[in-house]
Amino acid sequence: MHIGFITPEYPHPEVSHAAGIATSIKNLATSLVRQGVKVTVFVYHQSKDAVIESEGVTLHLIKKRSYKFLTWYRYRKLLSTYINTVISKDQIDLIEAPDWTGITAFMQFKVPLVIRFHGSDAYFCRLEGRQQKFKNFVFEKLALQKAKAYIAPTTFAGEETAKIFGLNRNNIETIHYGLELDRFVNAHPKQFQPKTLLYIGTIIRKKGVLELAEVFNRLIDKDPNAQLLLIGGDSGDIKTGSSSTYALMQSLFSEKAKAKVNYLGKIPYSEVQTHIKNAHVCTFPSFAETLGMVTIESMALQKPVVNTSIGWAQELIVNGVNGYLVHPTDIDGYVTAILKLFNDQKLCLQIGKAARVKTERTFDIETLVQQNIDYYTSVINS
């Protein structure tokens, strides 16, 4: 079997961007290779054209191009022609693409297309309660209509996407993102920086970071030793037009809170684990995800997580057993859960251990890779 992936991001030094989608694709791609499946990844919107071999995966970097008119259409046609050429030459059996902005709209492939719901613009707009650009909706719907089958990382993401686009729910398979768990081992869960609260992710409104600022203000009033560590790239704010969401966060922090906040910005992925291990508690008060890779990575490293309670998160955590679920708008709920963990080391270790067990049962890529192979096989054979 030979599977091709289309993506705007992938974790590699030669690739210009890598976030949650990139991590989930790489975890799957390298696991497929270990199972004897050939994998080719087409990474578009890059700074150059190149073909690279990495961990058994063939990466085709495709340079971003601009045209005098209809760039959105002509670049897609260029991608389609290029990918189809490689499909024929290298005998690729199936192509997988993301739903975001409908990159495969106006593309025709010689093999079946599966779309994985990493999160469409329409999906995020619905969860955030904001208006979507009509063009983006049309592109995403066209792309989905051309797909033969769909994969959702959570049942919630699958059901919401089906409602938005009128898809047949029976054509959507739920397969969670997975982790290479032997790369996520915390040999010393009792060792951490006390009272350190860690957030990892883009600094953007939909991740609940403005609510997190309010949480920390109240937390510092109750526990002056608390510290907040933020990791992730800054982003513009769609609601206010500000070029920096972190600047908005800073305007919300009290003077006492500001003195205890450390924003590292974007750091190499290889360094993130160290910060997770050093944290006392991890928190992700997001309004919009399909699953949330950093949540399960933190759980795998035996960290107690205070997480959003919205839809998808209920498939990751059992409240009070292997983490805590709190709605992003419930500021006091977050403060209460974090303080409870700060003040009870035995509880922290208990929750962290249960979180690790959950990832071993539900998010082990060695198990999930076979589910993906079986599903790809069924689509190819049908």
List, for residues 303-349, the tens digit of each pLDDT value: 999 999 999 999 999 999 999 999 999 999 999 999 999 999 999 99
* Side-chain half-sphere exposure of 200, counting CA atoms within 13 A: 23
Asked if residue 376 and residue 291 are part of one domain, the reply reads no
Asked if residue 213 and residue 323 are part of one domain, the reply reads yes
pTM comes to 0.91
What total of structural domains would you count in the chain? 2
Asked if residue 240 and residue 303 are part of one domain, the reply reads yes
pLDDT tens per residue, range 208-223? 999 999 999 999 999 9
Going by pLDDT thresholds of 50, 70 and 90, the confidence category of residue 16 is confident
What separation, in Å, do the N-terminal and C-terminal C-alpha atoms of the chain show?
15
Provide the CA 235 distance to its chain's centre, in angstroms: 16
The pLDDT of residue 163 is 95
Give the CATH number for residue 249. Answer: 3.40.50.2000
Asked if residue 218 and residue 164 are part of one domain, the reply reads no
Q: Which residues contact 38 (CB under 8 A, 6 or more apart)?
A: 1, 2, 3, 90
Asked if residue 145 and residue 276 are part of one domain, the reply reads no
Asked if residue 193 and residue 167 are part of one domain, the reply reads no
Q: Which domain holds residue 280?
A: 183-362
Amino acid at 380: I
The pLDDT of residue 238 is 85
